[in-house]
Amino acid sequence: MASKPFPVPKGMPSFWQTAPGHLDNHRSSAALPVESDIVIIGAGYSGASLVTHLLDNQGSQKKTILVLEARQLCSGATGRNGGHLKPDVYNLCSSVSDTHGLEAAVEIAEFELQNVEAVKDYVHSSGAQCDFVMTQAVDVQFSERHDAALKARYEKLSMAGIKATQQAAHFHGRDAEIISGVKGAKGAFKYSAGHLWPYKLIHHMFEQALKHSNVNLQTNSPVIAISQHPDSSGRWRLTTPRGDVLAQQVIVATNAYTAALLPEYQDKIIPYRTLCSRIVTPEDKLPPLLVNSYALRFNEWDYDYLIPRVDGSIIVGGARRTYLEHLQQWYGNVDDSKLMDVGRDYFDGYMQRNFRGWENSGAYTDKVWTGVMGYSADRLPRIGKIPGRQNMFIMGGFTGHGMPQIFLAAKGLSRMVSDDTPFSNTGIPRLFEETEARLQSKQNWLLDLHSGLFPASKL
């Protein structure tokens, strides 16, 4: 793992970035402001949602808000992800129920459902052009054993009366193959989800935010250090190659890259490099109809996810089986400027292999890219006040699943920043709160997973 996992200077372009937004290299002012009331570090989905909600909360006393982005706007995970806005209504919440109790699990499942609704409302009410579509998610299991285990957990939550879980229906055997259209499906869950073009959504949010004179966006302006302590007036000094900024309040929205600035996040938010792709059919052929979004679960740890796009192309991410054994390819690896040595051919013939009706589609891989997720050592996002750092806040560790969490997490956190609302009143699930105990914990489920699967493999 890189000792200081800063973003590399130039990530390879994803499909989403092929229509570059006009804010990619935006700087609201030629010079960096020397001070700001609030500084948000990172301009991905978290940074964009934070600035949106901070502006919504502001009264007549408008605080200055500076957003510092190391590279282009939305060039991190948000600009290279799968575009899947899928609430987890039975899986993560089920294991959380085992470890932390039913109430905590229900909070997460309901929060994710509320997020999908809130994003949908925001897109429609603000006129964001980001190919937002509500659809049905179909999660397919290829292993009978895995399907039975998930079904048992799903039924437990469902029978406990959890409304969010009851939104999903389960299908088994031939029904699963018919309902999913996936060859060899042994079981499937089906429930509502959305998909969208994340990069366009983030551009839209910043376009709206920049109409406010108290917002300043500075791209290509990495923070390279944060002072150890606030000065006598309580302000933090942020160092950039373009000069220093003094900030009354700082929100660290750097996700995978957080440990580069805050050493306490080393092995707490872990950079995890992964692969994503776009599959297309030849121009003279219409692609077979695919209306659902999918997760294809080959076993307990090997899965892919995909969304159909309105232009007939398919975005597919995952390919875990090709790289998971090779720890140095992904664990702590922030190099999204190139493909991994392994896995680049994984998506070739993918639709033909897995989907009925696609055998003669001629579908081929149009683009493959890498992206860096921020995995939390205990699998749960980290949101709230940073222990031991007054007036500094964290929002990250979304563990490859930020799309159905970030919008409302930012709403809650913005209230903590604006008017010191206690975490318990923000609507964010209690287990997402950053705490000293979480930061001190030695848990690292990613390394546990790896050593359990590949005991002989070394870094």
Ligand X SMILES: Cc1cc2nc3c(=O)[nH]c(=O)nc-3n(C[C@H](O)[C@H](O)[C@H](O)COP(=O)(O)OP(=O)(O)OC[C@H]3O[C@@H](n4cnc5c(N)ncnc54)[C@H](O)[C@@H]3O)c2cc1C
Applying CB under 6 A, which residues contact ligand X? 6-7, 41-47, 68-71, 75-78, 80-84, 222-223, 253-257, 260-261, 274, 276, 305, 317, 371-373, 396, 398, 400-404, 406
Nearer to ligand X, 168 or 276 (CB): 276
102 vs 224, beta carbon nearer ligand X: 224
Residue closer to ligand X by CB (options 107, 336) is: 336
Q: How far apart are CA 105 and CA 192, in angstroms?
A: 19
The three-state secondary structure class of 159 is helix
Minimum Å gap between C-beta 160 and ligand X is 25
State the minimum distance, in angstroms, from the CB of residue 403 to ligand X.
Answer: 3
> Which of 9, 161 has the CB closer to ligand X?
9
Spatial distance between the Cα atoms of 288 and 273, rounded to a whole number of angstroms: 31
SS3 content of the chain, % helix, strand, coil (to 5): 35, 25, 45
Least Å distance, CB 192 to ligand X, is 15
Buried-exposed string 288-316: b where 16+ CB fall within 10 A, e elsewhere: bebebbbbbbbeeebbbbbbbbeebbbbb
376 contacts 268 by C-beta, under 8 angstroms: yes
The token duo for 246 is 């003094």
Please, which residues have CB within 8 angstroms of residue 203's CB and are 6 or more apart in sequence? 21, 22, 23, 73, 74
Quick one: 17 or 158, whose CB is closer to ligand X? Answer: 17
Q: What string of H, E and C letters represents the secondary structure of 388-452?
A: CCCCEEEEECCCCCCCCCHHHHHHHHHHHHHHCCCHHHCCCCHHHECCHHHHHCCCCHHHHHHHH
Give SS3 for 114. helix
Instruction: Determine how β-strand 303-308 pairs with β-strand 293-297.
Output: antiparallel
Question: Cβ(343)–Cβ(319) under 8 Å?
Answer: yes
In the bound state with ligand X, the residue whose beta carbon lies nearer, of 75 and 158, is 75
Residue 108 CB, shortest distance to ligand X, in Å, is: 14
Q: Is 421 exposed, middle or buried (0-12, 13-18, 19+ CB in 10 A)?
A: middle
CB of 250 to ligand X, least distance (A): 11
Helices (DSSP H) in 160-235: which residue ranges?
Answer: 163-166, 174-180, 198-209
Instruction: Select from 298, 296, 297 the least CA-distant residue to 306.
Output: 296
CB of 30 to ligand X, least distance (A): 19
| Closest to ligand X by CB, 241 or 422 | 241
Please identify, using beta-carbon distances, which residue of 187 and 400 lies nearer to ligand X. Answer: 400
Q: How many other C-beta atoms can be found within 10 angstroms of the C-beta atom of residue 378?
A: 17
Q: Closest approach of Cβ 273 to ligand X, in Å?
A: 8
Which is closer to ligand X, CB of 158 or CB of 347?
347
Residue 225 beta carbon to ligand X: minimum distance, rounded to whole angstroms: 9
Q: How far is the CB of 106 from ligand X (least distance, A)?
A: 20
